Amino acid sequence: MQPPRQTPQQYDNTAHNSTPGSPPDEALSHAQTSSWPQRMSGWGEVFGALWVTLLVWLGSARDWLAARGGWLRQQLPSANRTHDPAAAMFSIIRRRLTLWYCGALALLLLLSGVGLYQGTQYALMNPIMTSLADNASDIARNWQQIAQANIPFNCHDLQPPDQQQECPISPDVSQRIPYIVCFVPISPNTVQAYVNRVNSVPQAFYQSPAPAQAALPAVAQAALNSSHGMATDRVVAEHGMGEIQRYALVVFDPDDHKAILGIVMVGLPVHGQLAALHDLFYALLIVGALTLLGAAISGLILAHRAMAPARLALERQQSFIADASHELRTPLTLMRADAEVLLRGRNRLPPDDAELLEDIVSETAHMSDLTTNLLTLARLDAGALHVERELIDLSEIATQTIRRAQALASERSLTLDDLTQPTDRPTLVVGDRALLERAALILVDNAIKYTQPGGGASVQVARVGWQATLTVSDNGPGVEPEHLARLSERFYRVDKARSREMGGAGLGLAIARGIAETHKGTLSFESAVGQGLTATLTLPAATQSTTPTPSGEAGTKAPTAIPLAG
């Protein structure tokens, strides 16, 4: 007689009475002892050996680099070592190119690795899933045929109870699938698990991990809840048998599709496939990491070599500017001197000729200042400007600058104030006094030029943490936000017509920024339209215990008396 057939709602509340199984036999246990934790133990030994080898290699590489450090520094110049703006620019470009190259390569490796892993996983696991689904369907069809023929499904009529060959399966299916369990309702509240070859099937395959809370294994319960009547999952078997892929299929009554005959659950060991996927995963990680490391190193070297023509062109440009400026200074000085000598006899010259000579003197003076500024910028770019290192009180620089610019401010009916607050200790920096005075004078001169008569400017020195600041503020028309970032660019002028009238060429702030960078500092600007401009020169602060050391490349020291840069 057929066991009572139940609806899915009734089946979900039945109790699970699983048949106990004995430990696996020796042959099956020996064939399935290769579990993932054991493989990981072997991998741990391999990684340990690789780690020791890597440490030894790094030690050898460190010794090699120490022995050839001079050559390496020549091949890869450091912007932090030379403080050369051009070198810093090329260093930033080189790093960005390398990062973009490594990022693109990492994305390509990631996509390739994911594709390879997914393809391998599909190739390994899809045949298993297909085999489980086909064989479960065969068992379900046999079961439905038995139900349609009204053949009593009684396991004890087929086999003695101790052998448990109870599922309606054919011999070929039994040979292909080692783990088969049929869950059959024997009463409204009881389910019997019939296990094929019970001595060979691990209990973790068909037993619920918490029988008191769950009537069926998780995969069987999921099949009941699924709209397709099937589910699959993976379970770890006991005794080191590894992982098993389970597939559960609900068998419905062919005459009443709402009634359930039972559940077929089949499984195949997949520990070999999973171990291969784990090995592939870690192999992809290691290969990808090594590839990115090699790409980063080779990218830095190749980017450095690729920019060699650009560096050479920049060096030639700087050399040309320096040479041209140097060569122009002498003839300009002679022209100005000759014109001034002729102007001494102004009374004997026609008025038109006297005005012409005055124009020559004015223009040669402007050209002389321009060539001097270009020469200074070229030396700053090339790192050829000699920089003295001495302790300097930044407040003294501010006082000296205000004293020198006071006459120019009075001429334009401006006030120039020193807002530095008195402190117990001086605001010390390490640097070149002449260069810092020039930078401060450029900032003050810029504030005076662009402030309307009757306005004012101020200079303030302060120390904030480990930094010393010299701030020059004015109450002029201010600068629009889009112009602030370009104020210190060469030949850049916000109001070009007004700058020409005042004799400026747009090089002064560029020189001030170059001096700040030479002293490992910065030059920043803040402004609002109609509220003036604030320029802040920030330098590393020093203490009285600091011992200054001379540094800088060979070159000509900038004199104290330097013409203002426009």
What is the DSSP secondary-structure string of 391-437?
EEEHHHHHHHHHHHHHHHHHHTT-EEEE-PPP-SS--EEEE-HHHHH
The residue that leads in pLDDT, 385 or 446, is 446
The CATH code belonging to domain 386-542 is: 3.30.565.10
Mean pLDDT score across all residues of the chain: 75
Residue 555 corresponds to which tokens in the numbers above? 């070159």
Given a cut of 50, whether residue 556 has pLDDT beyond it is no
The fraction of the chain above a pLDDT of 70, given in percent, is 71
Q: Average pLDDT of 441-454?
A: 88
For residues 177 and 131, what is the distance between their CA atoms, to the nearest angstrom? 8
Query: Contact at 8 Å (CB) between 83 and 517?
Result: yes
Nearest to 267 by CA among 135, 172, 355: 135
Please give the helix or strand (H or E) that residue 370 lies within, else none: helix 351-382
Residue 17: pLDDT above 50? no
Q: Residue 429 — φ and ψ, nearest 5°?
A: -140, 165
Domain ranges of the chain: 8-275, 308-379, 386-542
Q: What mean pLDDT comes out for the span 76-80?
A: 41
What is the pLDDT, as a whole number, of residue 198? 63
The DSSP code for 98 is H
pLDDT digits (tens, 9 = 90+) for 255-313: 777 788 888 999 999 999 999 999 999 999 999 999 999 988 988 888 888 888 887 87
User: Does residue 217 carry a pLDDT above 90?
Assistant: no
C-beta separation of 51 from 346 below 8 A: no
- 346 pLDDT more than 50: yes
Euclidean distance between CA atoms 116 and 121, whole angstroms: 8
Average confidence (pLDDT) over 219-241: 87
In the predicted structure, residue 545 carries a pLDDT above the cut 70 = no
Phi, psi (degrees; rounded to nearest 5) at 144: -65, -35
Strands 243-252 and 428-431: unpaired
Lowest mean per-residue pLDDT among 95-99, 142-146, 454-458: 142-146
| Band of pLDDT at residue 44, cut at 50, 70 and 90 | low
Q: Give the percent of the chain with pLDDT over 90.
A: 16
pLDDT at site 275: 92
Q: Closest by alpha carbon to 447, among 508, 521, 403? A: 508
| Local confidence band at 561 (pLDDT 50, 70, 90 cut-offs) | very low
**pLDDT recorded at residue 507:** 79
Query: Tell me, what's the pLDDT at 20?
Result: 38
Q: Average pLDDT for residues 214-227, to the nearest whole number?
A: 82
Q: Where residue 503 falls among pLDDT bands split at 50, 70, 90?
A: low
Q: Which residue has the higher pLDDT, 37 or 85?
A: 85
Report the pLDDT value the prediction gives residue 240, as an integer from 0 to 100: 77
Question: Looking at domain 308-379, which CATH architecture does it have?
Answer: Orthogonal Bundle (1.10)
CA atoms within 13 A on the CB side of 195: 20
Q: Which of 185-199, 229-243, 453-467, 507-521 has the lowest mean pLDDT?
A: 185-199
- Residue 555 has a pLDDT of 40
Per-residue confidence (pLDDT) for residue 66, from 0 to 100? 56
Task: Return the pLDDT at 351.
Answer: 83
> What are the pLDDT digits (tens) for 81-129?
445 566 777 888 888 888 898 999 999 999 999 999 999 999 999 999 9
